[in-house]
Amino acid sequence: MFIEDKIAKESMTINTPTPKIIFFDIDDTLSRNGIIAQHNKATLEELASTDIKLVISTGRSKAILPADILALLKADVLDAIICMNGQYSFDKKGRISHYPLSAEQTDTIVRLCQQSELIHKFDSATHIAWSGENERLREFNAITPNSIVDPEYHKGNTVYQCSVFFNNQQEKMQDVDFAQYELKLVHWHHIGADILPIEASKARGIKDVCQYYGVDASECMAFGDGMNDLEMFDLVGYAVAMGDAKQELIARADFVTGTIEERGIQSVLEQFHIAS
């Protein structure tokens, strides 16, 4: 069922089973500019009193998850977090699943980034490590304790994904055939993308979490807005695109709702009779 731009605009009733797990992207889905919208926080707190599991599904590194999101996990509002595009998932008890990059993969990624003359970073469970630094990164590192500059970090630490950052349209590595290395480039912003194993995705993390809780993915709902949500949308039973989501994602969604500011999440949950 695809309802383009109608969930937040029309009064309608959706007679479908209540999802057993709801997966939420962070940036531009729950949060804007790294801070969770207060009405979204209140909705999560309301849902925490139900039997529905609440799980974050983000491309962000574990090392730089927003403090307000981690506080919700600590407070038992959230049940688990999938981060680094499904490469690492955990709850308060510890790690649920993880998929480290191999030495061969990291060496290939470094070579490709160097050939394109791009600053890149590798993400571990504790740090993000940059290959170099510029003025913007110096400012970022000064206020981000887990962000370091160490071009050799991947050689002595377990890392899960690489991120690259672009200055213009010509620096998007579009000429690189990542598939021949069993890698892929996933854009999350017009200035940046993640380099991951070809089999990596939020969907893989969702499968792990569903198995952990004994739930089928078809019984789950997911909210998202970006290109790294595509596989997640294909997997779950109810895929909801935010109003300002990428058009490619909207085409794969079951429902399209409003933006954060338009209380898009609340509009859908109300129609499902899940939250007020």
* Average pLDDT along the chain: 92
Over residues 75-109, the pLDDT tens digits come to 999 999 999 999 999 999 999 999 999 999 999 99
Q: Which domains does the chain have, with CATH numbers?
A: 18-98+201-272 (3.40.50.1000), 103-197 (3.30.1240.10)
> If you average pLDDT over residues 194-211, what whole number do you get?
97
pLDDT at 14 over 80: no
Over residues 144-197, the pLDDT tens digits come to 999 999 999 999 999 999 999 887 767 788 889 999 999 999 987 778 899 999
Q: Tell me the angle at which helices 264-271 and 38-47 cross, rounded to the nearest 10 degrees.
A: 30
pLDDT at 203 over 80: yes
The closest alpha carbon to 83, from 239, 188, 217, belongs to 188
> If you average pLDDT over residues 131-148, what whole number do you get?
91
pLDDT at 6 over 90: no
The pLDDT assigned to 11 comes to 42
Q: How many CA atoms lie within 13 A of 256 on its CB side?
A: 16
Task: Give the angle subtended at the CA of 136 by the CAs of 67 and 187, to the nearest 5°.
Answer: 70
pLDDT at 24 over 70: yes
CA torsion through residues 253, 256, 262, 263, sign: negative
CA dist 230 and 227 (Å) reads 6
> If you average pLDDT over residues 198-221, what whole number do you get?
98
pLDDT at 251 over 80: yes
The pLDDT assigned to 5 comes to 45
The pLDDT assigned to 275 comes to 79
Task: Give the angle subtended at the CA of 95 by the CAs of 61 and 24, to the nearest 5°.
Answer: 55
Q: What DSSP element (H or E) covers 119?
A: none
Q: Please, which pLDDT band fits residue 19 given cuts at 50, 70 and 90?
A: very high
